[in-house]
């Protein structure tokens, strides 16, 4: 068996591999413990390379045994961004573009793993708290798994994200307040319904593992090598932690050589993890949320302390570009690489730009950045910042006047 159980990330107390998420000794978060001898014996570059062109090519590293609930997530576009690199002054800039996942965000990776686990546990329903991307992903995977889904979102997120969840038949609960209010309520509901699988609450230790596949893809696509630096968007900080774990896994089983990858994280302006890194202080939650980047707008980031520690220990940094910089970065990526990313991707590109300008990234460094969602989901935020269309009568002369 590749999964031995769960373990507290704080005090180390061990638990069986059940739907648990909090340590009863110190209330710290739990993580999956693997049998690394089993994985080492079973995994190989050749086996992975012959696997499906989805995240399930890395199944030997994932905490599930059942047949996956699979919409085809993962193994998304890996692009050498020569045009954007030229603008920013980087020679080896790579993008992983998760806007091409089945529901157009990286959340399909975590949800595919968590919903598979919920089926393994025989759970009766699915649920989550979401800033938007998770909503659509969970709704779609729940439909595929023939399970009902209850999705808690803060009121006022992008319409497209709500429509996407509704179309798959999920029950979407708009909670008056911020994401943190929606998350608190969802956690209370999860406590009342232990036989429901809330993917980012009572299934969180398993769910988070799905994001490790971004690390595996990074290494595989670079020819089984680790990059020099990564730039990762942060909401709860879980994605950055998962990519860090993923690189360590690969070293542990000998698929790549050890390397000290520098981790950089990005959030919208004023958010807690970046603020803590910049000020060298503990991560302090914020109540008031002021950003157009809804998908990263978590005021109380669950993995904040862990993400901060990884960034600091790796010698990386954190950046929190303004909303205006984010919009400009979305446009810059679109105009240079032909990729329309959502605002979270704009945060990452804008953060990368600041890191380069501050001399924190060398121009020859191999840098990988993660674009976690699709621009069409948040297009309404851009409307006021784009050139307007030109309206003419269907006459050649009028067109010639426009281009004159």
Minimum separation from the CB atom of position 300 to other proteins (A): 7
For 262, the enclosing helix (H) or strand (E) is: strand 262-266
Helix, strand, coil tally for the chain in percent (to 5): 45, 15, 40
CA nearest neighbour of 130 among 186, 170, 74 = 186
Residue from the set 138, 172, 232, 238 that interacts with other proteins by CB under 8 A = 238
For 147, the token pair is: 């399970």
Work out which of 89, 156, 169, 194 binds other proteins, going by CB under 8 A.
Answer: 194
Calpha distance 355→317 (Å, rounded): 8
Q: Which residue has the tokens 């979102």?
A: 153
Q: In whole angstroms, how far apart are CA 69 and each of 65, 144, 375?
A: 11, 7, 26
- Tell me how far apart the alpha carbons of residues 92 and 69 are, in angstroms, rounded to a whole number: 35
- Least gap, CB of 59 to other proteins (angstroms): 24
| Position 301 contacts other proteins (CB under 8 A) | yes
CB of 390 to other proteins, least distance (A): 43
Is 16 a residue that touches other proteins (CB under 8 A)? no
Closer to other proteins by CB, 150 or 198: give it.
198
One of 42, 100, 300, 336 touching other proteins (CB under 8 A):
300
Site membership for other proteins, residue 204 (CB under 8 A): yes
- Residues linked to residue 151 through DSSP beta bridges, in sequence order: 128, 172
The H-or-E segment that residue 239 falls in is helix 238-252
Q: Binding marks (x or -) toward other proteins, 264..293, rule CB under 8 A?
A: ---------------------x-x------
Alpha carbon separation from 72 to 120, 191, 214 (Å, rounded): 19, 31, 14
Contact call for residue 21 and other proteins (CB under 8 A): yes
Residues within window 116-135 making contact with other proteins, judged by CB under 8 A: 129
237 is an interface residue for other proteins by CB under 8 A: yes
Residue 305 within binding range of other proteins, rule CB under 8 A: yes
Tokens at 312, concatenated: 């600091």
Smaller CB distance to other proteins: residue 210 or 227?
A: 210
Q: Extract the tokens encoding 32.
A: 């999956």
Choosing from 99, 101, 213, 236, the residue that interacts with other proteins (CB under 8 A) is: 236
Binding of residue 12 to other proteins (CB under 8 A): no
Site for other proteins contains 188 (CB under 8 A): yes
Residue 184 engages other proteins in binding (rule: CB under 8 A):
yes
Residue numbers 49-88 binding other proteins by CB under 8 A: none
Beta strand segments in 98-140, E: 125-129
Nearer to other proteins, 84 or 149 (CB): 149
Residue among 172, 135, 185 nearest 295 (CA): 135
For residues 108 and 133, what is the distance between their CA atoms, to the nearest angstrom?
Answer: 9
Tokens (6 digits) for 151: 């999705």
| Least separation in angstroms between CB 22 and other proteins | 4
Q: Which residues bind other proteins (CB under 8 A)?
A: 10, 21-29, 129, 179-181, 183-184, 186-188, 190-191, 194, 198, 200-201, 204, 235-238, 285, 287, 298, 300-303, 305
């Amino acid at each position: 068996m590749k999964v031995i159980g769960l373990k507290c990330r704080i005090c180390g107390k061990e638990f069986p591999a059940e739907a648990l998420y909090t340590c009863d000794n110190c209330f710290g978060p739990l993580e999956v413990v693997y049998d690394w001898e089993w994985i080492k014996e079973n995994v190989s570059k050749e086996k992975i390379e012959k696997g499906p062109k989805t995240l399930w090519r890395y199944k030997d590293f994932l905490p599930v045994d059942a047949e996956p609930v699979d919409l085809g997530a993962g193994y998304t576009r890996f692009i050498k961004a020569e045009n954007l690199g030229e603008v920013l002054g980087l020679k080896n800039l790579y993008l992983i573009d998760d806007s091409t996942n089945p529901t157009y965000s990286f959340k399909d990776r975590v949800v595919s793993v968590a919903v598979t686990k919920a089926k393994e546990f025989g759970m009766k329903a699915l649920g989550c708290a979401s800033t938007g991307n998770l909503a659509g992903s969970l709704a779609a995977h729940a439909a595929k798994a023939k399970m009902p889904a209850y999705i808690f979102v803060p009121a006022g997120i992008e319409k497209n994200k709500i429509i996407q969840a509704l179309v798959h038949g999920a029950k979407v609960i708009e909670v008056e307040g911020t994401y943190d209010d929606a998350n608190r309520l969802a956690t209370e509901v999860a406590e009342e319904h232990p036989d429901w699988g809330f993917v980012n609450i009572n299934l969180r230790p398993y769910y988070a593992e799905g994001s490790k596949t971004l690390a595996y893809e990074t290494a595989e696509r670079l020819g089984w090598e680790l990059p020099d630096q990564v730039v990762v968007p942060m909401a709860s900080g879980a994605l950055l932690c998962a990519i860090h774990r993923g690189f360590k896994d690969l070293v542990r089983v000998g698929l790549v050589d050890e390397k000290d990858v520098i981790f950089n994280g990005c959030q919208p302006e004023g958010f807690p993890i970046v603020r803590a890194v910049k000020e060298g202080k503990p991560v302090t939650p914020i109540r008031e949320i002021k950003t157009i980047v809804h998908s990263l707008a978590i005021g109380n980031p669950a993995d904040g302390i862990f993400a901060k520690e990884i960034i600091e220990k790796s010698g990386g940094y954190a950046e929190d570009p303004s909303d205006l910089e984010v919009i400009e970065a979305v446009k810059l990526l679109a105009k240079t690489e032909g990729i329309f990313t959502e605002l979270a991707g704009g945060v990452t590109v804008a953060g990368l730009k600041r890191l380069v300008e501050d001399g924190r990234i060398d121009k020859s460094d191999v840098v990988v950045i993660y674009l976690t969602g699709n621009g069409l989901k948040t297009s309404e935020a851009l409307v006021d910042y784009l050139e307007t269309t030109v309206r003419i009568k269907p006459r050649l002369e009028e067109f010639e006047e426009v281009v004159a």
